[in-house]
Structure 1
Amino acid sequence: MNLLTFNYVSVLSVFDLKMSLTLYIIVTCIKLLCLPCFFSTDFEVHRNWLATTYSLPLEQWYSATHSPWTLDYPPLFAWFEYFLAQIAFYVDVDMLSIKNLNYESVATVHFQRLSVIVTDFVFYYGSRQCAQALVVLGMSPKTRKKNPNLEDYEINVFMIEILLVFNIMLMIIDHIHFQYNGFLFGILLVSIAHILKGQSYRGAFWFIVLLNFKHIYLYLAPVYFIYLLKHFCFGQNLKTTLKRLINLGIIVLGVTSISFGPFVVKGQITQVLKQLFPFKRGLSHAYWAPNFWAMYNTADIGAKFIYKKLDLINNDNSTSMTRGLVQEYDHYILPSITPQITFTLTAMFLLPCLYKMWISQKSAIGFVRCIVICGLTSFMFGWHVHEKALLIVIIPLTLLINTTTNDCSVFTMLSTIGVYSCFPLLFRPSQFITKLLLFCINVYFLYVTGKFKQLKFIENMYLMSLWPLMLSTEIVWGIFQLDKMYPFLPLMLTSFHNSIGVFYCWLKFYVHYTFN
């Protein structure tokens, strides 16, 4: 970083620090309003993990059977729960009892809600770091040609920060549904910020830390591996290449050893890995994620319905995926999908974009684009994907909204679809107004920032079709009491409709990134 860039970033840090703090305070106050909101079974999952890590010895953390909600996150997250449990002891010790299943005292609810809000400051910090890293990139001669007006560029970067911390989908999942995705995405953003600044060791360190908190980010690991290998290690003299490879290896092995080491010593590593990769959970989650398999499942159910009408089948002993249950499912008409098939498809589509990054010139923006396409490809074809996994795409994609029209249009569509795909998580009729308001807020943010202007006519029409879908599945369905006859058909329609939009975005971004 040259002296001019350093001075500008320093001035910017002081100049807009007050705006950022004001922004964070506003968002935090909104999250505090969610304290009494409905929460899902994930609330009990994490309360049980508090009790497990506090009440049981380490060797039983991943093998305890007192609850169906067993630990299935990597060890660093288990230690995170253990740390929270030490504080929870002074709030309500009963929440730490493994016998108190489904325990929901007021103190427990407030403690867990506040723990999500407090740890979200990692997300704020990561957003801030990425914003400053983008300013540094904006000061480079090549980028300055595209952004000659420094003041406009500063405003655009701050808008990225706003869209990150006001991410409505993240707010629904963490602060209503209940999870701890915020601080995890904060770690991801810190890692990306270091890569954008050219600080490869720090970027690799924080990504390995992230993997040891939640292994779903393995989707992005190939991007880090290829980028660091080709654009950081290779291309140097042999001595430098070996030194960098060894240092990266020490970082990976060091963090992983600290995380998994105690469980290796206790002879629990096999049980830990078994919990982390439970392939018997079925192809699709209870509420279908809007990916390729949602379309595939819908086609199978449609074919099954036609076969019944034509009397081509006499009995039906198959498990219905429309029940909304997490379980294994055999498709009735179409071939059943195995984990091996999903892995093969995902790898097949990842290889071209990874090869593109390998042969391309070193580019921090190209690195972020490859993260987006790898995350989106894994979401489209992965095994037992949750709807919230779309955040792995939307969060890093937010950093690209000022780069090209293609990046901005895909972000606008995925951001809108992502919020709508969370609607089945808030299934009570009384929550419709909450869902509607949050959806309108998300649309308003995109409108006032001019993102809808980047969309093509067909893309605008698709997003407009979400309104009649909402009307039919949320209102008309209940008025005519069709929900009693076909209780999970609204979920199927929602997932199928959203999957069309996500598939379109994947295809558009994939072609643009891989073949241009």
Structure 2
Amino acid sequence: MAAFTIAAGTGNWFSALALGVTLLKCLLIPTYHSTDFEVHRNWLAITHSLPISQWYYEATSEWTLDYPPFFAWFEYILSHVAKYFDQEMLNVRNLNYSSSRTLLFQRFSVIFMDVLFVYAVHECCKCIDGKKVGKELTEKPKFILSVLLLWNFGLLIVDHIHFQYNGFLFGLMLLSIARLFQPSIFCLWFKPQGPRGFLRCLTLCALSSFMFGWHVHEKAILLAILPMRKEKPLFNWMETFYLLGLGPLEVCCEFVFPFTSWKVKYPFLPLLLTSVYCAVGITYAWFKLYVSVLIDPPVGKTKKQ
């Protein structure tokens, strides 16, 4: 608290927030982790030990590699750092392998990759006009946004307890959006021809890499914390209908399906239905975002903005 007070007084409150949440993540290192810990260890082993042609066919473990290709390459890169911690974690046949060095590597790999997320939050805060706000730190929109994003409880649970790598992917999305609101970064945005379109294409490529490197069904809710910047109804009737459909879907999967004869023959059906349903929503959201990026006029043009 003292460090935060000092940082706030000197204008370095963002650094204090980032440092504070990083220390909290370090404290969570010895906590519970789900089977995803072994899942990612196995993927490190697969991508490190086998040729690319076998990555998606290796089935020694039940936790086969089923994430999109971009994430497989991410695991491959991580594996070349992991070998300096504990080479045994990269043995495909060492099922459920765990050691103190393996634990430290996998936990710290998530913390280290969150550097991109922290940077992205910082860049997003630059897009907020904080001139007409109160003098108190808690009244500053930039401070509030930073707290909500950096100390996002969902990310702490999913990434640093449950064990996943969503922070840096979410950071990639936020950074891409921040760049849309910072047109002067390449001094090209307002030119009418190629350079402006080139920059937007780069942004779309970054957004696409986020979309196709993301596991859909269990982290779709993270999209809901994306800051909204336009003053208009949050959802139209179709979007509202889609979100309401999540309720009946959950009831069918959790309360109806277990009592049907399909439970034994098709045990994967609830997960399949949830994944497909969420994939439809996410694809729609990205398509709508792409249309907005390509059609809407550049930001910073109007007096209101």
TM-score between both structures, scaled by the size of structure 1: 0.42
CA 1:339–1:166: 2 relative to 1, 3 Å: closer
Instruction: Provide closer, same or farther for how the CA distance between residues 174 and 352 of structure 1 changes in structure 2, counting only shifts above 3 A.
Output: closer
1:206 corresponds to:
206
Letter in structure 2 aligned against 1:292? G
Counterpart of 2:117 (choices 117, 123, 126) is 123
- Give, as a single letter, the amino acid of the residue that structure 2 aligns with 1:75: P
1:309-334 Cα shifts (integer Å, max 9, x gaps): xxxxxx9634189xxx961259xxxx
Matched, 1:189 2:192: no
Whether contact under 8 Å (2:61, 2:95) holds in the other structure is: yes
1:295 aligns with 2:289: no
Q: Distance in 2 between matches of 1:124 and 1:32?
A: 16
1:161 aligns with 2:102: no
Check 1:25–1:297 CA distance in 2 against 1; reply closer, same or farther (3 A cut): closer
Aligned residues of 2:110 and 2:159 also touching (Cα < 8 A): yes
Counterparts of 2:39 and 2:248 in 1: how far apart (Å)?
30
How do residues 377-388 of structure 1 correspond to structure 2 at under 5 angstroms?
Answer: none
Displacement after TM superposition at 1:213 (Å): 3.0
Distance 1:156 1:107, change over 3 A: same
Distance in 1 separating the partners of 2:287 and 2:29: 45
Counterparts of 2:51 and 2:283 in 1: how far apart (Å)? Answer: 42
From the superposition, tell whether residues 204 and 300 of structure 1 become closer, same or farther in structure 2 (CA, over 3 Å): closer
2:46 matches 1:48: no
CA distance in 2, matches of 1:319, 1:156: 49
* Offset, 1:298: 2.3
Specify the code of the residue in structure 1 equivalent to 2:175.
V
* Matches for 1:328-477 after TM superposition, within 5 Å: 328=269, 342=277, 346=281, 362=297
Cα distance in 1, alignment partners of residues 299 and 142 from structure 2:
16
Structure 1 position 203, deviation (Å): 2.4
In structure 2, the CA distance between the partners of 1:98 and 1:194, relative to structure 1 (3 Å rule), is same
Please list the CA deviations of residues 117-147 of structure 1 after superposition, one character each: whole Å capped at 9, or x if unmatched.
Answer: 1111110000001001224xx6xxxxxxxx7
**Count of residue pairs brought into register by the alignment:** 252
User: Which residues in structure 2 correspond to 1:203-242 (within 5 Å)?
Assistant: 203-214=203-214, 216=216
Partner Cα separation in structure 2 for residue 344 and residue 107 of structure 1: 36
SS of equivalent to 1:104: coil
1:58 aligns with 2:43: no
Counterparts of 1:303 and 1:51 in 2: how far apart (Å)?
Answer: 38
Q: Which has the higher contact order (CA 8 A, sep 6+)?
A: 2
In structure 1, the residue matched to 2:65 is 71
Matched AA of 1:180: Y
Q: What is the CA deviation profile of residues 342-364 of structure 1, one whole-angstrom value per residue up to 9, with x for unaligned ones? A: 49985998799789959x96476
Preserved contact between residue 133 and residue 140 of structure 2 (Cα < 8 Å): no
Letter in 2 for 1:192: I
**CA 1:92–1:292: 2 relative to 1, 3 Å:** same
Give the helix-richer structure, 1 or 2. 1
CA offsets, 1:195-253, max 9 Å, x none?
A: 12235434224223324533649x9xxxxxxxxxxxxxxxxxxxxxxxxxxxxxxxxxx
Q: Does 1:170 align with 2:170?
A: no
3-state SS of 2:127 partner = helix
- How far is 1:300 from its partner? 8.3
Aligned-pair distance for 1:65? Answer: 1.6
1:129–1:190 Cα contact (<8 Å) kept: yes
Structure 1 pair 127–42 and aligned structure 2 pair: CA distance change class (3 A): same
Structure 1 unmatched runs, 5+: 1-14, 139-146, 220-289, 306-314, 331-336, 366-402, 404-516
Tell me if the contact between 1:193 and 1:203 (Cα under 8 Å) persists in the aligned partners.
no
Q: Is the 8 A contact 2:172 2:206 kept in 1?
A: yes
Letter in 2 for 1:319: K
The runs of 5 or more residues in structure 2 that have no matched partner are: 1-9, 184-188, 190-198, 221-242
CA contact (8 A) 1:127 1:189 kept: yes
> For 1:147-175, what per-residue CA distance to the aligned partner results, in whole angstroms no more than 9, with x for missing partners?
74475798211220121100011000000
CA contact (8 A) 1:52 1:98 kept: yes
Cα 1:64–1:303 change in 2 (3 A) is closer
CA 1:50–1:129: 2 relative to 1, 3 Å: same
CA contact (8 A) 1:55 1:98 kept: yes
**TM-score (normalised: structure 2):** 0.68
